[in-house]
A = this chain, B = another copy of it.
């Protein structure tokens, strides 16, 4: 089969002919990939930023945002069958540790991350397990949803955690209306009646945010923190979802969080730096957010099936992976997510 493999850090991947993976473990599921999302993390992987953490042997197959069709299942699999269209939770988990037993797949003690620490899904086939498979509703195609497997799931997870704080009359500030932010806005509009205020430095992204459910938008031109404070009676927002997390956005997110409110950190690259007296005197919280659970992904698929969450995508054949990476690096995607679509196996 065809697969996008990293051969050396610092070099672009190549599309190789490799042997097809085969089902062996009792919960194994072999999935024919219908779509693999391209993510900025893939660029970081190639640069070698994940080399020490992942300790994966090169060459290996990229791709951690995948959807497709089940081709073969091992004997113990009861939740999907060959032919089923599926989206794949990004983590392979054990199902037996205390985290797995509480539904918190993401903190599985034995989790693996295909595309990062083992072969991923930029290929015609991916070997995964039954615990990763969320069956798609009839109306949904793999290419429409693949980018929700990681980017979307992260945005939904943060919104889901913030939900109890977002009753009618509250304000939620979304910092960064990029790929994750756009999904976050749609999720917020679907599951809450909170007032949604979106901040970005790009006017087009803000215009799109409005279409997707933002009640108000604020251009990040330097005066945006003050503007948000003014919009909230000087108080700040009950919840800030910081999809940027770097270059000063992380400090601004905190500054826009009201007393007893919560600053949800989702983006990264920067540093949170707060005097403890500010934390206690205002009783504010900093909430960490990683990707969501299996059930989060199933819920997100419910929203997607109802048309409440949609993605802007640009598709490329698998062979054009480097062209897609060029477009991502050059900022030519204009808010769309690049999706690699392999040829179907015969």
Give the interface of A toward B (CB within 8 A). Answer: 25-27, 75-79, 94-99, 101-107, 110, 130-131, 160, 164, 167-169, 190-193, 245-246, 250, 259-260, 265-277, 279-290, 293-295, 298-300, 302-303, 306, 308
Verify A288–B290 contact, CB threshold 8 A. no
Closest to A233 in B: B109
Verify A164–B164 contact, CB threshold 8 A. yes
Closest to A286 in B: B286
Q: Which residues of the other chain, B, contact A26 by a CB distance below 8 angstroms?
A: 25-27, 75-76
Verify B168–A299 contact, CB threshold 8 A. yes
State A300–B254 Cα separation when bound (angstroms).
29
State A269–B276 Cα separation when bound (angstroms).
6
Known contacts A276-B269, A283-B289, A289-B283; A190/B193 CB under 8 A: yes
State A169–B134 Cα separation when bound (angstroms).
13
Distance in Å: Cβ of A288 to nearest Cβ of chain B: 4
Distance in Å: Cβ of A42 to nearest Cβ of chain B: 17
Q: Which residues of the other chain, B, contact A169 by a CB distance below 8 angstroms?
A: 298-299, 302
Closest to A164 in B: B164
Known contacts A78-B110, A276-B265; A168/B193 CB under 8 A: no
Q: Which residues of the other chain, B, contact A283 by a CB distance below 8 angstroms?
A: 106-107, 288-290
Closest to A259 in B: B107
